[in-house]
Amino acid sequence: MPFTPPKPIAPTPEDLRGSTVLVVDDERAWRVILETDLRMLGYKVSMAEDADQALEKAQSDQPEVAIIDLMLSSTPLIPFSRRERTTPTLWAT
């Protein structure tokens, strides 16, 4: 099968440029890949490696969106999402 290069990523719309994205993953390699790509697209990036760090970062950085690894090894996602919902500043994220 011949190699097909990936399609170029569309530029970030001006109204989203500078928005903060919280990346939560326990694997450093994925955090770095996502951070690099998101910064190249014009986003600010906040990173956490577990649910506890994610809650702290979400409260301090108030991201517009979060990309969360559903298979976090250290903390199950369900307790994290319950804690997130009980924190008023995070519920809107």
CA–CA dist 60, 54 (Å, integer): 10
What residue ranges define each of the domains in the chain, with the CATH number in brackets? 20-91 (3.40.50.2300)
SS3 83: helix
Amino acid at 66: A
- Write out pLDDT tens, residues 53-81: 988 998 899 999 889 888 776 665 555 55
- Write out pLDDT tens, residues 1-40: 677 776 766 766 777 778 999 999 999 999 999 999 999 8
Partners of residue 66 on adjacent β-strands? 22
Confidence check: pLDDT of 88 > 60: no
Backbone CA torsion sign across 14, 16, 19, 23: negative
**90 token code pair:** 């995070």
pLDDT at 63 (0 to 100): 92
pLDDT at 74 (0 to 100): 64
Confidence check: pLDDT of 91 > 80: no
Residues 60, 24, 36: CA angle, nearest 5 degrees:
95
pLDDT at 83 (0 to 100): 55
